[in-house]
């Protein structure tokens, strides 16, 4: 007889959506419901050890909210903002965390004593959408997540596609303007929230009546113009904000069209804080540009939809990957 009994599964898994600014943790049950969650700032500037400690503390808080301990959790999935060597559980290069070649799976398994899966954050999010959200009926899906930056992910043939070099789907790094100066070449450098704010700062002098002008002037050294402030001005028809956002949406639609022309996927899911805040008008603008640029014209039938799971997509997707493991 074995000296130790096999632990009975609880059916609970944990999903972690790890960002450069914030982290979100959810305890997910067998019915794919988030039964408890916890959030906190990542504080990447404190270094790797401090961020690992903060992840563990946030997991403990979520477990406490669910009335369980980590020993009762079947597995943990973590979505990180980086190319990921999935087989090795390695974070290859997370610029906004300052990490390079970090063996995150080994570190977290040692800390938690649980099976841990590491995945790219947008891959995790689109896996959540394919299993539970906007892409449930499709097997070939491109994900485009617009927030502070722009990330991407791919599901092909009903499986997450990572590519031979672990970087598949990174549409945000697509070069749009090769002869421009560094910092103004890629999709991310023109269409992310940070890029839109930078564009507003550049031309705000020509729009003295713009509501965003006061927000830009009042911004402190460490504060940012958030998606909600941009969305408020966009919804009210602020001329400056509408110009910048619509220009960014047009470029994003063009980039998505190029990707769909290349991949011939049946659907595209767009998500992230910018998409959630700006809503249907922004998505319609992206769709209009997509249809204008995609080739051949039969690819206009590609479904371009916004995320159903919103800011829960990454947590749920990471949790589902942990359950699969």
Over residues 30-37, mean pLDDT: 97
Over residues 128-137, mean pLDDT: 96
Domain ranges of the chain: 13-129+313-324, 137-307
Q: Could you give the CA distance from residue 162 to residue 139 in angstroms, rounded to a whole number?
A: 15
Confidence category of residue 1, pLDDT binned at 50, 70, 90: very low
Q: Is 184 left (phi over 0), alpha (psi -120 to 50) or beta?
A: alpha
Residue 220 has pLDDT above 90, yes or no: no
Contacts for 77 with CB less than 8 Å, ≥ 6 apart:
13, 14, 15, 16, 116, 117, 118, 119, 124, 317, 318, 319, 320, 321, 322, 323, 325
Output the pLDDT for position 2.
39
Sign of CA dihedral 186, 168, 305, 13: negative
The share of the chain scoring above pLDDT 70, in percent, equals 96
Phi, psi of 139, rounded to the nearest 5 degrees: -110, -20
Task: List, for residues 221-275, the tens digit of each pLDDT value.
Answer: 556 788 999 999 999 999 999 999 999 999 999 999 999 999 999 999 999 999 9
Both tokens of residue 279?
């809503």
Task: List, for residues 138-192, the tens digit of each pLDDT value.
Answer: 999 999 999 989 999 999 999 999 999 999 999 999 999 999 888 899 999 999 9
Output the pLDDT for position 318.
98
The share of the chain scoring above pLDDT 90, in percent, equals 88
Q: Could you give the CA distance from residue 312 to residue 128 in angstroms, rounded to a whole number?
A: 9
Phi, psi of 72, rounded to the nearest 5 degrees: -95, 5
* CATH of the domain spanning 137-307, picked from 3.40.718.10, 3.40.47.10, 3.30.420.40, 3.40.50.11890: 3.30.420.40
The mean of the pLDDT values for the chain is: 94
> Which whole-number Å values give the CA distances from 277 to 90, 267, 306, in the listed order?
32, 22, 11
Q: Could you give the CA distance from residue 197 to residue 227 in angstroms, rounded to a whole number?
A: 10
Q: Sheet of 22-28: strands edge to edge?
A: 34-41, 22-28, 13-18, 75-80, 115-120
| CATH fourth-level superfamily of 13-129+313-324 | ATPase, nucleotide binding domain (3.30.420.40)
Q: Could you give the CA distance from residue 237 to residue 281 in angstroms, rounded to a whole number?
A: 11
Classified as helix, coil or strand, 16 is strand
Residue 317 has pLDDT above 50, yes or no: yes
CATH topology identical between 13-129+313-324 and 137-307: yes
Task: List, for residues 108-131, the tens digit of each pLDDT value.
Answer: 999 999 999 999 999 999 999 999
Output the pLDDT for position 3.
43
Task: List, for residues 11-22, the tens digit of each pLDDT value.
Answer: 999 999 999 889
Both tokens of residue 254?
């063009």
């Amino acid at each position: 007889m074995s000296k130790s009994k096999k632990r009975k599964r609880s059916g609970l898994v944990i999903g972690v959506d790890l960002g450069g600014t914030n982290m979100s943790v959810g305890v997910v049950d067998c019915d794919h419901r988030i039964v408890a969650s916890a959030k906190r700032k990542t504080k990447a500037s404190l270094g790797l050890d401090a961020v690992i400690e903060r992840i563990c503390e946030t997991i403990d808080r979520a477990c406490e909210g669910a009335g369980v301990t980590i020993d009762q959790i079947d597995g943990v999935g973590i979505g990180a903002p980086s190319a990921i060597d999935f087989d090795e559980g390695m974070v290859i290069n997370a610029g906004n965390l300052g990490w390079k070649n970090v063996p995150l799976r080994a570190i977290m398994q040692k800390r938690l004593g649980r099976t841990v899966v590491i995945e790219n954050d947008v891959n995790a999010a689109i896996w959540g959408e394919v299993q539970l959200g906007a892409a449930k009926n499709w097997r070939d899906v491109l994900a485009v997540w617009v927030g502070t930056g722009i990330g991407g992910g791919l599901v092909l043939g009903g499986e997450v596609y990572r590519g031979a070099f672990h970087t598949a789907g990174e549409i945000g790094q697509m070069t749009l303007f090769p002869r421009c100066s560094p910092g103004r070449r890629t999709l991310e450098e023109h269409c992310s929230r940070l890029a839109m704010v930078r564009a507003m700062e550049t031309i705000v002098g020509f729009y003295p009546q713009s509501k965003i002008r006061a927000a830009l002037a009042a911004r402190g050294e460490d504060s940012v113009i958030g998606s909600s402030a941009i969305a408020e001005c966009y919804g009210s028809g602020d001329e400056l904000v509408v110009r910048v956002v619509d220009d960014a949406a047009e470029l994003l639609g063009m980039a998505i069209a190029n990707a769909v022309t290349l991949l011939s996927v049946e659907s595209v899911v767009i998500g992230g804080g910018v998409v959630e805040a700006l809503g249907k008008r922004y998505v319609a603008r992206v769709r209009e540009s997509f249809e204008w640029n995609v080739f051949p014209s039969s690819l206009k039938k590609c479904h371009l939809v916004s995320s159903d799971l919103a800011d829960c997509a990454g947590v749920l997707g990471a949790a589902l990957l942990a359950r699969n493991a």
